[in-house]
Amino acid sequence: MWQPWHRDPRETADTVVLKAEDVKEGDREHFDKHYHFSAYDNHLMGELSRIRFLRNRLSLLFNLINLFNYLYKCLKLCIFKRQSNDKKSIAYRIIDKTPPNCFRVEYLAKLYPDAKFIYITRDGLDNTSSLMNAWRSKQKFQFRYRKYLEEYLSPLKANQEIENAEIGVRKESMQIPKYFDIDGYQSDVWKFAMPPDWEAYRDKTLAEVCAFQWLKTHEYALNSLSKLAPERVIRFKFEDLMAEPHPSIEKLCSFLEIEFTWNMQKIVSEMPLVNTFTPASKRKSRKNQADLETIKDYIEPMQQQLGYVTIL
């Protein structure tokens, strides 16, 4: 969907920063097409789309599910128009849970004047720790495709001084230039959000990288959301959402002007795990406590702004 704005055709999850003035003719049609193709209004197809096996191993089957979903919705819309006396099209909301959207709120707000924004915050220490766990994961969140970044980045300065002064140095013993040297992280790709100036964090600690991602995401979100009419924005704390999911989702449905259906209530009572291995918990989040000590002062101003107390 965001491919036309990515720096490279191989990128699939770039953090594109867009403002209201970036909206141009044809953008609305582009997004309408992709949203209708990829968004589900059928519970069974939504469940199928979440099966990791279908996403990663059978991409052709996953695309067929998307195609069937698109045709199914077109048929429903066509039938509704024919049955409707006033010929109005049916209205429904599409939920787009894309984290980098925090960097393009103003763009989306102008593109879709009737869009509403759900802003979910989480304690910075917990979120930073969770990001660190995800960065280190060897089973999910691989981001291997980002190896292409080496074509855009210069090797880190500390690794540019290859031992070539002494005569007789064997070629295989020469140091290979590094593009990432993040302390506490063993791989060589950048994961998750890429806020502006992310390149300056290529040789920082993993805690600093993740705290930077958390902080910049909220800075962009808060700045952009503050420019919208209050009735277009609702905020939830992740902690409150987990502690009291039923009243939180009921409030959310009211905000979106949609029915809090029996199916929704069932899902809320049996919250599925999505993009994580285990349920959220304080013990899980604070397993990186020593690392979090090093960044707590850095995130403290934003913690206060979001209403959190920085306690380890």
For 70-94, what is each residue's pLDDT tens digit?
677 667 656 555 554 554 556 678 8
Q: Is residue 224 included in any domain, yes or no? A: yes
Q: Is residue 216 included in any domain, yes or no? A: yes
Does residue 169 register a pLDDT over 80?
Answer: no
Q: Are 5 and 93 a contacting pair, CB within 8 Å?
A: no
For 33-58, what is each residue's pLDDT tens digit?
888 766 656 566 556 655 544 445 55
For 114, the token pair is 């009737």
Closest to 209 measured CA to CA, from 197, 218, 222: 197
Q: Is residue 204 included in any domain, yes or no? A: yes
Q: Are 70 and 37 a contacting pair, CB within 8 Å?
A: yes
- List Cβ neighbours of 183 (8 Å cut-off, separation of 6 or more): 204, 205, 206
Lowest mean pLDDT among 67-76, 134-143, 168-177, 234-243: 168-177
**Is 55 or 306 the better-scoring residue by pLDDT?**
306
**Domain limits for position 115:** 3-39+94-306
CATH of the domain at 238: 3.40.50
| CA-based R_g, the chain, Å | 23
**Is 52 or 284 the better-scoring residue by pLDDT?**
284
Q: Is residue 83 included in any domain, yes or no? A: no
Q: Is residue 163 included in any domain, yes or no? A: yes
**Overall domain count for the chain:** 1
Q: Please give the single-letter amino acid code of residue 201.
A: Y
Q: Which helix (H) or strand (E) holds 136?
A: helix 124-136
This prediction has a pTM of: 0.82
**Is 94 or 241 the better-scoring residue by pLDDT?**
241
Q: Is residue 13 included in any domain, yes or no? A: yes
Q: Is residue 19 included in any domain, yes or no? A: yes
Q: What distance in Å separates the CA atoms of residue 280 and residue 210, rounded to the nearest whole number?
A: 18
Q: Is residue 47 included in any domain, yes or no? A: no
